[in-house]
Amino acid sequence: MHKPHIPLDQIKAEVDSCHRCPLCEGRTQTVFGAGNPNARVLIVGEAPGKNEDLQGVPFVGAAGKYLDELLGVAGLKREDVFIANVLKCRPPGNRDPRVEEIECCTPYLREQTRTIDPEYIVTLGNFATKFILKTEVGITRLHGKLQQAGKFKVFPIFHPAAALYDGSKRVALEDDFTTLGELLRAGREQDAQPAASSTPDAVSATAEEGAHRGFEQESLL
């Protein structure tokens, strides 16, 4: 039996009052996520940075501005998607999230995903991709290739911040967001058809990369 979906406002209230791990002690505020609660696309990043911690909104600053441009490449606006992170509080010095922090935050992202019920989860960067797909295969190999996590189509893409430090990533990012737009358009036209079969550039996960189901296996639905 499926659990009833929890309203996003209720999940946000739980996040705002969360003291499950020590990250709560150093935060200015939580960063729950923002966007369309009925979005076809859920974008998942790693964790809030300094600007996000100050403003309480995901993907602000230079990386956020570039993300807005990339969404436009896919024919989307920020208000069309929902943007969240694996962690809801900023790790000190923007260090990588720790296992115990992820364990504390996972239920929130799980409930967000169940409530929004997106068609696609777009994972930005290495960390979010490995977390959602439960894989050790890196973003360099997986980006732009359609994967599956239970009922969800997962589309890994480089983190927009990567292009701020490495200009060569811009081409890959823009190509992948172009492919995302094609997948979304194809999905409207061919409801029952797997998007990967209608778009050559979106390659399904190979046996080597794994038939990733980990995120849903953790009672995502």
In a domain, 56, yes or no: yes
pLDDT bin (cut points 50, 70, 90) of residue 189 is confident
Residue 190 has pLDDT above 80, yes or no: no
pLDDT in tens, 89-109: 999 999 999 999 999 999 999
Residue 15 CB coordination number (10 Å): 21
In a domain, 3, yes or no: no
Domain of residue 164, CATH code: 3.40.470.10
In a domain, 119, yes or no: yes
How far apart (Å, rounded) are the C-alpha atoms in residues 142 and 15? Answer: 31
Residue 73 has pLDDT above 50, yes or no: yes
Q: pTM of this prediction?
A: 0.87
212 is in which domain, residue-wise? 8-216
C-alpha radius of gyration, the chain, whole number:
16
Classify 111 as helix, strand or coil: helix
In a domain, 1, yes or no: no
pLDDT bin (cut points 50, 70, 90) of residue 188 is confident
| Per-residue confidence (pLDDT) for residue 30, from 0 to 100 | 98
pLDDT bin (cut points 50, 70, 90) of residue 2 is low
b/e code 199-209 from CB counts within 10 Å (16+ = b): beebeebeeeb
In a domain, 2, yes or no: no
